[in-house]
Amino acid sequence: MRRDDRSDEAKAYRRLYNTRAWRDRRLALLSAEPMCRYCKALGRITAATVADHIVPHRGDRELFAGELQPLCQSCHSAVKQREERGGYHSAVDLDGYPIDPNHPNAASRTNIASEAK
Ligand SMILES: [Zn+2]
């Protein structure tokens, strides 16, 4: 087994995730919304296994308490890779709108969707 000799950031992450409160939160999210949100936007039905922080928390306690979205492992990896490069997920849904809420054009989706109703 790996020794706990990684960075302070890694330790901070573990402290945030290794709590009863986080496990409860994650389970509550995945029970309420069991399908990957990005896959769903793309017309795919995939079980979500990851409770992803919409705003990357980078170990920050307040951001860690921020809003979550259910993702599958594959979408989560894609999102994290984008974030590490300082960008956002560029995929679009069936209507042609960005599926990443951090995408600069993501706001227009909400407007259009509510107009359509
Ligand atoms: Zn997915």
Segments making up each domain of the chain, as ranges: 8-116
Residue 3 C-alpha to ligand 1 middle, in angstroms? Answer: 32
Residue 8 C-alpha to ligand 1 middle, in angstroms? Answer: 30
> For residue range 30-86, what is the model confidence (pLDDT) as tens digits?
999 999 999 999 999 999 999 999 888 888 899 999 999 999 999 999 877 777 776
Residue 89 C-alpha to ligand 1 middle, in angstroms? Answer: 12
Q: What percent of the chain has pLDDT over 90?
A: 47
Q: Which long-range contacts (CB under 8 A, 24 or more apart) does 98-106 make?
A: 99/37, 99/38, 99/41, 99/42, 100/38, 101/54, 101/69, 102/54, 102/55
Residue 1 C-alpha to ligand 1 middle, in angstroms? Answer: 30
Residue 79 C-alpha to ligand 1 middle, in angstroms? Answer: 10
